[in-house]
């Protein structure tokens, strides 16, 4: 007998169990990962997740979703599947690749989380990788000539630095002085987080070998510049526009790195004795004009808040990807949040630590999860980022350490959707 089209299907709670990442490196011949394969970086993350969670049987993993913006070479060949095989997971574990530029890992998380909520999966691994040394941004891309001939987008939309300059044009109150001050603060906050051992626990040590140099073990991020001052940043050139405002100092660099996370249904986490670091509340993606792609987190956050029945005042922590300082400040100004609000990027952000494109979404989640543990007074937090070609992504999470967490879980457990089996 076929199931009724009107049958009710429970929507299951999705929890963030654990997340790790490699130290982030500088792209290029002098970077720590020059000569290292991108897929090997992902494999290190998957293996570390399995090592850190011994109660998770490998054959209970239902899917591996790995994002990469440039899906060729060592980032191609359906990297979710190849990474699963290379990591030693059972051959019964499927995998796939995903691309949403900078929000690749974030989309890998939300896509597989939707499968968990629907009941298709119990446990998944989701993450991302970008080796921008092996695959420079835009390498091998062939944009359709209609983009230009039919003026579908402004030519600036295909260069992320130009879109950041456009954002400055749109919001003249966001001056270069403000972006430089924000960038210097990001460097200082990351240095402070390192000194307090708030970053290191999420890092997977990576050994590399270079000709003539032998082996080296990398246990911390390469891009940070602790001690950076506003005066230092004021001296940098503006490569995207003469007398512009965007510099290498108030924007994320070109980086290499990988991330991965375990997500599960609340029931599977309880069954397997897995930790619960966060509960997924809602998520949303939004499109904006490609030539000002940095504004994307604003409508994405508004949609995610509406879906969750929350307001911006309910959010106690923000992890905002710092592709450009102007992009973060446009978000803060829209929601009436001060540049130095202590809820925002407590450990610093991508301006300091780096932004290996498709991997960064899980880094934001790792840092939010750790802050949740440190601050049980916070109930809800956001991870959000802008995306090339004019998009934004936001995920809202709930803190399991908050006093009201259990009551909210019980309430959500009663949620059903009509016609889900149709």
Instruction: Give me the active site residues, please.
Output: 102, 355, 386
Q: What phi-psi label fits residue 88: left (phi over 0), alpha (psi between -120 and 50 degrees) or beta? A: left
- The pair of three-digit structure tokens given for residue 90, joined into one six-digit string: 């059972």
Residue with tokens 């960064």: 360
218 three-class SS: strand
User: How many Cα atoms sit within 13 Å of 255 on the Cβ side?
Assistant: 29
DSSP letters, 124-164, are: EEEEEEEETTTS-TTTT----THHHHTTSS-GGGG-HHHHH
Strand spans (E) along 11-154 = 14-21, 25-26, 63-67, 95-98, 123-131
DSSP letters, 212-271, are: TTEEEEE-S-SS--TT--HHHHHTS--TTSTT-S--SSSB---EEEEEEEEEEEHHHHHH
Residue with tokens 């003249």: 172
């Amino acid at each position: 007998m076929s199931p009724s089209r009107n049958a009710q299907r429970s929507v299951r709670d999705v929890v963030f169990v654990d997340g790790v990442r490699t130290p982030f490196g500088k792209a290029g011949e002098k970077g720590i990962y020059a000569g290292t394969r991108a897929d090997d970086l992902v494999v290190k993350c998957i293996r570390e997740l399995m090592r850190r969670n011994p109660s998770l049987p490998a054959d209970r993993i239902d899917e591996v979703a790995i994002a990469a913006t440039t899906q060729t070479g060592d980032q191609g060949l359906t990297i979710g599947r190849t990474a699963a095989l290379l990591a030693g997971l059972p051959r019964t574990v499927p995998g796939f690749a995903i691309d949403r530029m900078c929000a690749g890992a974030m989309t890998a998380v939300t896509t597989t989380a939707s499968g968990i909520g629907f009941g298709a999966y119990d446990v998944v691994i989701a993450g991302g990788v970008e080796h921008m040394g092996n695959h420079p941004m835009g390498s091998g891309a062939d944009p359709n000539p209609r983009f230009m001939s039919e003026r579908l987008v402004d030519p600036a939309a295909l260069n992320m630095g130009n879109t950041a300059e456009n954002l400055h044009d749109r919001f003249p109150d966001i001056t270069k002085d403000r972006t430089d001050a924000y960038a210097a603060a990001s460097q200082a906050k990351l240095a402070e987080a390192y000194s307090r051992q708030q970053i290191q626990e999420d890092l997977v040590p990576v050994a590399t070998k270079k000709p003539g140099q032998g082996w080296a073990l990398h246990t911390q991020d390469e891009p940070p510049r602790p001690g950076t001052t506003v005066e230092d940043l004021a001296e940098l050139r503006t490569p995207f526009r003469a007398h512009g405002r965007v510099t290498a100092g108030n924007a994320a660099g070109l980086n290499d790195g990988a991330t991965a996370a375990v997500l599960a249904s609340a029931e599977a986490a309880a069954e397997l004795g897995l930790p619960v670091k966060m509960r997924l509340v809602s998520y949303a993606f939004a499109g904006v004009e490609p030539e000002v792609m940095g504004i994307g987190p604003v409508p994405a956050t508004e949609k995610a808040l509406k879906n969750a029945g929350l307001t911006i005042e309910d959010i106690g922590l923000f992890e905002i990807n710092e592709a450009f300082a102007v992009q973060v400040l446009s978000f803060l100004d829209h929601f009436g949040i001060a540049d130095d609000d202590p809820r925002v990027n407590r450990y610093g952000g991508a301006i300091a630590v780096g932004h290996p494109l498709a991997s960064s979404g899980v880094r934001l989640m790792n840092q939010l999860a750790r802050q949740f543990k440190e601050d049980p007074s916070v109930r809800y937090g956001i991870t959000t980022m802008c995306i090339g070609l004019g998009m934004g992504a936001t995920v809202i999470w709930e803190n399991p350490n908050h006093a009201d967490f259990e009551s909210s879980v019980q309430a959500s457990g009663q949620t059903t959707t009509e016609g889900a089996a149709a």
